[in-house]
Structure 1
Amino acid sequence: MEGKIGISLPNCNREKLTGSGGRKFDYGIAEGPEWGFGSEEYKVGGLEEELKEEDDVEVEETSNIDVLQSHGINIVDLKKLKSAGICTIKGIMMCTKKRLCNIKGLSEQKVEKIKEACCKLDTGGFLTALQFSDKRKNIFRITTGSQDLDKLLGGGMESMAITEAFGEFRTGKTQLSHTLCVTAQMPSQGFTGGKVIFIDTENTFRPDRLRSIAERFNLDQNAVLDNILYARAYTSEHQYELLDLIAAKCHEECGTFKLVIVDSIMALFRVDFSGRGELSERQQKLAQMLSRLQKISEEYNMVVFVTNQMTSDPGATMSFQADPKKPIGGNILAHASTTRLSLRKGRGENRIAKIYDSPDLPESEATFAISAGGITDSKE
């Protein structure tokens, strides 16, 4: 396409660099002169110099589980872990012994041995607030396409966190998802750009919509589509199984994936679990899925964006509340989401976003618009 900017995303050269103590980790350098990809500013996984200065614990957490061979863990058991989407030391430390024992071929004795080996590499202990603050410097943000919405979110969608957007139909949830698929591939200050994983539970994913959004940003449309991994989930169980594939893919391509989208998180749970009799089981399964998503976002430093539906609250109607509708998912989803964004309709193509809950953002509103080129600033 003449005049279009090609997207050259970070590709890992698969060269193993050895850190102190003989630990190995992957690095890849982004390429692409159009966006300044070969510069020191756009190195995959954060600044290389910062990683050299980080303590031993940080390097160990992201180490490939193959290093456990030197601690007496056989390669067959390591392959079983990888088949379950557990590919790093940190990934093992994030799993309970019960979950590891549920992996076919891993006995309780083997799991105990694996856990002990990981503890020798990663204590999983305390950090000072200053050390934790330094670790959070690796966090990046992805633009939504609207400067006003970005400002509301503190700069965009945050990595190592789950951002939930809920609202009624036609409030812009899916349009925001499609726009993020494109903007996640565009580098900005302190962010390299990367690939996207999209889990579609409602059959609303449209490649042609992505083409029109890519055209707005003058990007090569085929390149944009080629950098998005798409999966259609048909059941809540299938949706959970896809998360293991995500973890394996993220580890395989070491830092090239920057965004995971689930549109929508609750749709299949509403179908698979009906009535109050199955509510407890539904919430347990939902909690497991959200926990897995959160761990993936932290383990691989990714943005996780999920959309959610609304339901009527009969109790609110009786108490004469202004809005009798509420997001579904209950307290499980409310506590699991780092930032909750409420969307509602405005005039014409305008939509209003409100910070519903966040650990560090004030309750505020912003207006944005839905255009042919995706999410943009409102003209009003």
Structure 2
Amino acid sequence: MTATDIEDIPGVGPATADRLREAGYITVESIATAAPVDLSEAAEIGESTAKKIIKAAREIADIGGFKTGTDVLARRQEILKLSTFVPEVDELLGGGIETQAITEFYGEFGSGKSQIVHQLAVNCQLPREVGGLGGSCLYIDTENTFRPERIEQMVAGLEFEKPVPEGYEIPSVEDFLANIHVARAHSSDHQMLLIDSARDLSNELKDSDMPVKLVIVDSLTGLFRAEYAGRGTLAGRQQKLNRHLHDLFKLVDDLNAVAVVTNQVMSNPGVFFGDPTKPIGGNIVGHSATFRLYLRKSKAGKRIARLVDSPNLPEGEATFMVETAGIKSC
């Protein structure tokens, strides 16, 4: 079943299908995993009808049931790894940044967060044989950090450790920039809506030569932090942030793509010994991000990446440099 066959779901007529598409429900899978109340509002139908449509979609999409460990292992074997082109950082991450997961980079201003995501926006377009994913990038920019000039410098500075496929030539800077789709978010609600737009665009590019393989949110919490000030608004902020991360994970899980988010930090005044820096977002971001890396500055222009949390990798550190040519080994 293709992404445009939602009319084949029992109970979904042409008018309902149009309303669902306008609300971002353009695949059977997206309907199958929707909440009845959300689908009811989007399609302007009763909640009981929405439940029946969701049940029918689940039967068609064959999701929602239990799977054996063997099935999960088979799904895990589809995971790809995106290289940072810094061997020490790749080793820290078990070979690179995983698809079907959210990887968070957090740290103070100037620690290298936006530099890394610019580098990944370039690397993801390269062939898998050299550590890329052979796909395009969606970049949700909340702090006006995307710089095409930086992409140009990083393309010029590309160096490969692995053999390049025979006949492969590095595309032009214009080609690299054409495969980075940037959206500027102006509010937290707009930021959340852009995930729906990302799904639409990824479906358009699904059968192209450059399907979406990387989704970047730089930064994840900036707009939420600015709009929800004070303890009284914390619960609302965390609820929206949780929904946003859930939608992001669902998107990259469906696409077998990489999700990378950057995060701001704050200083914990209650810490008297050790590093008082902690990421914004609390437990919601902590539990939603599959891999968390803390970036900090070191001597002589070096940066240190510390793997703080991972479901299957040990904690550790790796150093890298931010140079004009991109992210490089020390």
- What TM-score do you get using the length of structure 1 for normalisation? 0.79
C-alpha contact 2:29 2:58 (8 A) present in aligned 1: no
C-alpha contact 2:5 2:28 (8 A) present in aligned 1: no
Are 2:52 and 1:113 equivalent residues in the alignment? yes
Determine what percentage of the aligned residue pairs are the same residue.
41
1:185-264 map, 5 Å? 185-189=125-129, 192-217=133-158, 218-254=170-206, 256-264=211-219
The aligned residue for residue 278 of structure 1 is: 233
The aligned residue for residue 158 of structure 1 is: 98
Are 2:262 and 1:322 equivalent residues in the alignment? no
Amino acid at match of 1:204: T
Q: Secondary structure at the match of 1:368?
A: strand
C-alpha contact 1:85 1:246 (8 A) present in aligned 2: no
For structure 2, which runs of at least 5 residues remain unmatched after alignment? 159-169
Q: How many angstroms apart in 2 are the aligned matches of 1:87 and 1:138?
A: 24
Are 2:238 and 1:299 equivalent residues in the alignment? no
Cα deviation code 1:56-76 (max 9, x no counterpart): xxxxxxx42515426342122
Q: 1:301 to 1:75 in 2, by over 3 A?
A: farther
Cα deviation code 1:71-115 (max 9, x no counterpart): 342122222222222222222222211221231523324312311
- Tell which deviates more after alignment, 182-191 or 334-343: 182-191
1:1-380 map, 5 Å? 24=1, 63-64=2-3, 66=5, 68-69=7-8, 71-121=10-60, 122-189=62-129, 192-217=133-158, 218-254=170-206, 256-316=211-271, 320-378=272-330
Compute the RMSD of aligned alpha carbons. Answer: 1.7
Q: Secondary structure at the match of 2:134?
A: coil
Q: How many angstroms apart in 1 are the aligned matches of 2:195 and 2:116?
A: 22
Once the 2 structures are TM-superposed, how far is the Cα of residue 169 of structure 1 from its aligned partner? Answer: 1.0
Ranges of 4+ aligned residues in structure 1 off by more than 6 Å: none
Q: How many angstroms apart in 2 are the aligned matches of 1:244 and 1:214?
A: 30
Q: How many angstroms apart in 1 are the aligned matches of 2:238 and 2:11?
A: 38
Q: 1:276 to 1:151 in 2, by over 3 A?
A: same
For structure 1, which runs of at least 5 residues remain unmatched after alignment? 1-23, 25-62
- What TM-score do you get using the length of structure 2 for normalisation? 0.91
Amino acid at match of 1:86: Y
Q: How many angstroms apart in 1 are the aligned matches of 2:69 and 2:45?
A: 37
Q: How many angstroms apart in 2 are the aligned matches of 1:146 and 1:323?
A: 25
C-alpha contact 1:140 1:191 (8 A) present in aligned 2: no
C-alpha contact 2:124 2:132 (8 A) present in aligned 1: no
Matched length: 314
Q: How many angstroms apart in 2 are the aligned matches of 1:350 and 1:78?
A: 53
C-alpha contact 1:313 1:325 (8 A) present in aligned 2: yes
C-alpha contact 1:171 1:345 (8 A) present in aligned 2: yes
